[in-house]
Amino acid sequence: MTKEEIIAGFNPNHLATEGAQIFGLPFNESQSDLILVPVPWDATVSYRSGTHKAPEAIFEASFQVDLLDRTFGDFWKKGIYLRPATQEWQKINQETRKKCESVIKHLAKGKSIKTGSRYEKILQEINQTCEQLHEWVERETLQLLKQGKRVGLVGGDHSTPLGFIRALSKIHQNFAILQIDAHADLRKAYESFTYSHASIMYNALMIPSVSLLVQVGIRDFCQEEMNIIQEHARVHTFFDEDIKNGLYQGKTWLQYCDEIISYLPEKVYISFDIDGLNPGLCPNTGTPVPGGLDFEQVVFLFKRLKEANKQIIGFDLNEVVPSKNEWDSIVGARILFKLCGLALS
């Protein structure tokens, strides 16, 4: 059956049927223009864990998303497919998480990691495993990119997209990262972990093809990160406090969106940490922070990106922690749907 025949026989108004793909869609991987790669990883998280369960939870919540979209139209017809999460990396994540917890507890006692100590060996094992994860993500995403597929990554914690960004750098010589986040994520190494979720943007800036990092909604950062923001020519940060102060004094969100977009080159990668939103929308995320963006503000920014004809070369969604009432997963599924629409429109 051709893709056209599948679309003709599919009723987007009906409930998702058994065996349906994400958002209740009827496409397999070969029929889909956009492939979502799940990375069930949260080994180095510093507070709450659980985001390794997000890809599966978002998949289940996605069946409640209506396919009619006023902003991006019938983009679903191009096909979206979420690969199943690998059990191997789920197992490795659990094993590595235990090692990370032992290091964190050691450091929390005020002790250092001495050369030649048992903890130094454990730390080396953790960093090596994290690098292997990034190499795997790079191979998987690069293969899809070379097939002409659009690619999105579903984490996992915010360390997970590094391999994907590396893969994109082999296809695109120059692109910006638009980071929506509560945290700057510019620590050189947090809790001694080279590939901490708090270091993703520091590591991304090591990639020469990343010409600019534009951060939106940042409201939690340390002095080390502030120094980078103030001194690094490739970083421009829209702090949440500054955005809110401007809005209170009469500046519009439209003006902010256009200012954000004015910094961006033609090609843009979106890195979306769910805690960039108001924590009422993601109360169980790993490190929630008061403040943040509303859902409608994010959608409006995406709409302005589309109208500015920016080329979205990829995206990630991270730090969704499933909860019993499924609220975080529901919001995550709807943010993911909008990201898919922006990438495919």
Report pLDDT digits (tens) over 273-285: 999 999 999 999 9
Residue 182 to residue 240: CA distance in whole angstroms? 8
pLDDT tens figures, 132-178 = 999 999 999 999 999 999 999 999 999 999 999 999 999 999 999 99
Q: Identify the band that residue 18 occupies on the pLDDT scale cut at 50, 70 and 90.
A: confident
Peptide bond into 280 cis (omega under 30): no
CATH number of 3-9+28-344: 3.40.800.10
What per-residue confidence (pLDDT) applies to 320?
97
What per-residue confidence (pLDDT) applies to 1?
83
What per-residue confidence (pLDDT) applies to 106?
87
Rg (CA), the chain: 20
- Please give the residue that has the higher pLDDT: either 106 or 192: 106
**Looking at the predicted structure, is the pLDDT value of residue 235 above 90?**
yes
What per-residue confidence (pLDDT) applies to 114?
84
What per-residue confidence (pLDDT) applies to 108?
84
The pTM score is: 0.96
Residue 81 to residue 151: CA distance in whole angstroms? 10
Q: Identify the band that residue 181 occupies on the pLDDT scale cut at 50, 70 and 90.
A: very high
**Looking at the predicted structure, is the pLDDT value of residue 191 above 80?**
no
- Please give the residue that has the higher pLDDT: either 89 or 15: 89
DSSP per-residue codes, 198-259: GGHHHHHTTSTTEEEEEEEEE-B--HHHHHHHHH-TTEEEEEHHHHHHHHHTT--HHHHHHH
Average pLDDT over residues 218-244: 97
Residue 225 to residue 185: CA distance in whole angstroms? 8
CA 125 vs. chain centroid, Å, equals 25
Write down the residue that tokens 């943040």 correspond to: 292
Residue 180 to residue 43: CA distance in whole angstroms? 22
210-218 and 175-180: which strand pairing? Answer: parallel
